[in-house]
Structure 1
Amino acid sequence: MNRSDLVQLLSDRFSQLTQGDAETAVSTILEAMNSAMVRGHRIEIRGFGSFSVIHRASRMGRNPRSGAPVEIPAARMPHFKPGKALREAVDLPADEVAPAQSQAK
């Protein structure tokens, strides 16, 4: 699923939303999440998971072609940790997925 699929799903599920309104809603949510992550904040969506920023220290690596040591600089990276409900839903056999989704509605 990509961004346009998400917009389409949202506009199909909520008939009062036009395609443009759904695009605005998706863009607003993603921009808010992006902005919070850039500031180093943690985002928690119950039943789905949490997004956080992890700090990777600088370290020595190796160039795969030459084997020469290369310093890898420190970096801040986004990290996603799925929630229990998402982990369990993903682990279900394919034939059980449809009933589980209809129960969540």
Structure 2
Amino acid sequence: MNKTDLIEHVSQTAAISKVKAKRAIDATMERIKDAVKRGESVTLVGFGTFDLGGRRTRVGRNPRTGAALTIEAARVPKFRPGKAFKNDVK
């Protein structure tokens, strides 16, 4: 499923136009991104939690040459599925 498929499904399920469904989905995704970017956790009960994690600076290897290189620290988005979501997927 891609975003277009999701818009189609929301449009049909909620009996709204595709334009309104797209706006709603875009607004939801934008709000989740903004909150996580600020370091907030976004919990959708029964679905999961979007959060911000981090990776420390570490040493890696260039696979071609084998030379050591430093991989910088990074902030990374994380998603932890909720219990109901996990159970539904089993």
Aligned to 1:72: 71
**Residue 97 (structure 1) aligns with:** none
Partner of 1:101 in structure 2?
none
Unaligned runs of 5+ in 2: none
Aligned-residue identity in percent? 39
Equivalent-residue separation in structure 2 for 1:87 and 1:13 (angstroms): 23
Post-superposition shift, 1:38? 1.1
4+ residue runs over 2 A deviation: none
More helix by proportion, 1 or 2?
1
- The superposition leaves residues 13-50 of structure 1 with CA deviations (integer Å, 9 ceiling, x where unpaired) of 111x1111111101100110111111111111111110
Report 1 or 2 for greater relative contact order, CA contacts < 8 Å, sequence distance ≥ 6. 2
Structure 1 residues not aligned, in runs of 5+ = 92-105
Report the alpha carbon displacement of residue 2 of structure 1 after superposing the two structures with TM: 1.1
CA RMSD of aligned residues (A): 0.8
Instruction: Give the letter for the 1:45 counterpart.
Output: L
Distance, in Å, in 1 between the alignment partners of 2:36 and 2:3 is 19
Matched residues, number = 90
